[in-house]
Amino acid sequence: MKLRFRISLGIVLLAVMFSFALALQTRPAEAKSLQPAVTCYGQAFQIGFHATAGTLYEFPSRSTPYVTSKYCNDINMKLTTMPGPVYVQICFVHANYCNSWKYYTTRNQWYTPATNVLNNTTYVVRFETYSSGNVFGSIAD
């Protein structure tokens, strides 16, 4: 009887030690679910089109406007390709209002064509350039 008790006790202690060792190696559930935080520029989306000099472009159409996210307080834009200086204007669809034209000349620089914009605001972007060529970049809103 003593031998059975010692063997049973040894098995129980071994099982406890093994489960304790596994618990130390496993990360907590909270650590597994952690995702990197989304940042304003981290959620930027790409834009691009071929511009003809002197033509006014509006993206997207007013029937399917962009909607600002909760990640930025402003509408930010970085143009990576442009044929020359570009004029940019933000038009707020539901307010039926466009802000003033902004004049951008430098590539790969974040600009802010609209500041202090509320979350879930619908808008379109107007572009105009006096040189023909490609306009590519990103918008973070």
Checking if the pLDDT of 131 tops 60, the result is: yes
- Quote the number of domains for the chain: 2
Contacts of residue 114, Cβ cutoff 8 Å, sequence gap at least 6: 74, 75, 90, 99, 123
Do residues 102 and 130 share a domain?
yes
Q: How confident is the model over 41-53, as pLDDT tens digits?
A: 999 999 999 999 9
Model pTM above 0.85: no
Do residues 27 and 96 share a domain?
no
Res 110: pLDDT: 97
Instruction: Give percent of the chain above pLDDT 90.
Output: 70
Nearest to 100 by CA among 91, 89, 111: 89
Contacts of residue 79, Cβ cutoff 8 Å, sequence gap at least 6: 86, 104, 107, 108, 111, 135, 136, 137
* Dihedral sign from CA coordinates of 54, 129, 112, 67: positive
Checking if the pLDDT of 78 tops 80, the result is: yes
Q: Are 130 and 99 in contact (CB under 8 A)?
A: no
Do residues 67 and 119 share a domain?
yes
Res 36: pLDDT: 65
CATH code (residue 60): 2.60.120.510
Structural domain that includes position 13: 2-33
Least confident residue range of 7-11, 79-83, 95-99? 7-11
Instruction: With cut-offs at 50, 70 and 90, classify the pLDDT of residue 18.
Output: very low
Backbone angles phi, psi at 8, to 5 degrees: -65, -45
- Tell me the mean pLDDT in the region 1-7: 52
Do residues 119 and 53 share a domain?
yes
DSSP element (H, E) containing 17: helix 2-25
